[in-house]
Amino acid sequence: ENIYFDYSNAGIKKYEIQYLKEPTRKAHEVLHEKTGAGNDFLGWVDYPVTYDHKEFEKIKRVAQEIKKDSEVFIVIGIGGSYLGSRAAIEALTHSFYNLCSDGPQIYFAGNNISGTYLKHLMEVIEGKDISINVISKSGTTTEPAIAFRVFKSYMEEKYGKEKAKERIYATTDQEKGALKTLAEKEGYETFAIPDDVGGRFSIFTPVGLLPIAVAGLDIDKIMDGAKEAKELYMEEDLDKNLCYQYAAVRNILYRKGKIIEVLANYEPALHYIAEWWKQLYGESEGKDGKGIFPAAVDFSSDLHSMGQYLQDGRRDLFETVLNIDCSKLDMEIKEEAEDLDGLNYLTGKTMDFVNKKAFEGIRLAHIDGGVPNLIISIPKMDEYYFGQLIYFFQKACGISGYLLGVNPFDQPGVESYKKNMFALLGKPGYEGLRETLMKRI
Ligand code: PA5
């Protein structure tokens, strides 16, 4: 059993798909022969096979050490340097992991610029043994750099400089960047991010795998799933490749004016997979004045907030449901002698049964309301299928970006805010821009 993709309710005609057969084959060729835009950043395509096995064993060893000597593990990173590991940890561990796991509590920092958040985090970790993984490919991103400066001095005060450095792990470029220089100077254990793997495609590298392993998850199985997906989605024929069908179908819908894709899930544990997916697609495709806007909803919660819009608002969106065939755990609804809440008609039914009926009912209602519906089903949410799913989305994103006619592997737009922020903060080298911006404020 593998991931299944169903677009039978997307309102797409057979010939619409057929028209995209050749462009998809071409996109496949360009991706695999590395002849397209962004071809410096295609290391992720073969990574599930070509990854550095020695480094992989080091991840497992270090994760064991961290688990042994830490009550708290802090992951400092932003964007592609944190969303992947967070997605895995939320999807695959206990819903209340930090409250009941044998392993270290895991907290994320450096993904915002909030002093309140950092102060609160420090209160929570007070008196506990801590290890830190600071992750930044460029090594110069402001948010994680500030958070790390704070935690570095916290650790040095708590443990002394020598002991602190034994508890700090840096994941960054193999040669350049401020974090690399700092890590070398301070003598931290480091993990390398391959040059040809961009942030949002880096979950299978130490960026994602070290925090995931510290959470007690089986990273071998994740890589097995990714490897299987790599094989499955090598097929260049659109009719036989579900991953490419997802890429093609979303492009067909986009061309028909469906410019928003809403990724819907029915399990709260999938929330951060959606956050990761939003980054992957938003940053890869939103450029040159083009791109589907990736949005996400958690059902059934968001039916009580966004349900009305989805059913009845502007018809420029389509819905992709991330469906888990078999839920991890389930619970039966019991009979009550007095049926005061009127729920006895559900006696003997399980929560998952009710959830699936909600899914079916919502799906039909949305289709009737003019929302094209796609389903990506995975047999169950475990490490193996998580690996498959991530690779499915990454490969579909590369193909989809090429079909859209953009470079899916750069993010020039992210730089604009950074330049303005640096100028306003008075960073050396930005004096001219500062002057121009100050006049506008
Ligand atoms: O996908 C990307 O490249 C970005 O989202 C980065 O992951 C993000 O900006 C963080 O960058 P860095 O790892 O260099 O700190």
- Interval 208-245: pLDDT, tens: 999 999 999 999 999 999 999 999 999 999 999 999 99
State the closest ligand 1 atom to the C-alpha of 172, by its place in the atom list counted from 1. Answer: 13
Q: Are 211 and 74 in contact (CB under 8 A)?
A: no
Q: Is 152 in the pocket of ligand 1 (CB under 6 A)?
A: no
Strand segments, DSSP code E, in 302-364 are: 317-326
Reply yes or no on whether the pLDDT at 351 is more than 90: yes
Rounded Cα–Cα distance for residues 104 and 49 (Å): 30
Reply yes or no on whether the pLDDT at 412 is more than 90: no
State the closest ligand 1 atom to the C-alpha of 414, by its place in the atom list counted from 1. Answer: 9
How high is the mean pLDDT of the chain?
Answer: 97
Q: Is 200 in the pocket of ligand 1 (CB under 6 A)?
A: yes
Starting at the edge strand found earlier in the chain, the sheet holding 189-193 runs 105-109, 72-76, 130-136, 168-173, 189-193
Q: Is 404 in the pocket of ligand 1 (CB under 6 A)?
A: no
Q: Are 167 and 132 in contact (CB under 8 A)?
A: yes
Return the pLDDT at 414. 84
Select from 40, 133, 141, 279 the residue to mutate for testing ligand 1; criterion: most ligand atoms less than 8 Å from CB: 141
Percentage of the chain modeled with pLDDT above 70: 100
CB atoms within 10 A of CB 143: 20
DSSP 3-state percent helix, strand, coil across the chain (nearest 5): 55, 15, 30
CB atoms within 10 A of CB 229: 25
Q: Which residues have a Cβ under 8 Å from the Cβ of 263 and sit 6 or more positions away?
A: 274, 277, 278, 294, 295, 296, 297, 320, 322
Average pLDDT over residues 249-263: 98
Residue 283 known to be catalytic: yes
**pLDDT band, residue 416 (cuts 50/70/90):** confident
Tokens of 360: 């079916």
Select from 138, 210, 275, 277 the residue to mutate for testing ligand 1; criterion: most ligand atoms less than 8 Å from CB: 138
- 3 state DSSP class of 41: helix
pLDDT tens-place string over residues 323-338? 999 999 999 999 999 9
pLDDT tens-place string over residues 153-207? 999 999 999 999 999 999 999 999 999 999 999 999 999 999 999 999 999 999 9
Q: What angle do CA 383, 387, 388 make, to 5 degrees?
A: 120
State the closest ligand 1 atom to the C-alpha of 200, by its place in the atom list counted from 1. Answer: 1
- Tell me how far the alpha carbon of residue 4 lies from the centroid of ligand 1, in angstroms: 30
pLDDT tens-place string over residues 59-81? 999 999 999 999 999 999 999 99
Q: Which residues have a Cβ under 8 Å from the Cβ of 117 and sit 6 or more positions away?
A: 109
- Tell me how far the alpha carbon of residue 18 lies from the centroid of ligand 1, in angstroms: 36
Tokens of 314: 């502007």
Lowest mean pLDDT among 53-57, 74-78, 139-143: 139-143
Return the pLDDT at 287. 97
Q: Is 84 in the pocket of ligand 1 (CB under 6 A)?
A: no
Select from 40, 75, 76, 78 the residue to mutate for testing ligand 1; criterion: most ligand atoms less than 8 Å from CB: 78
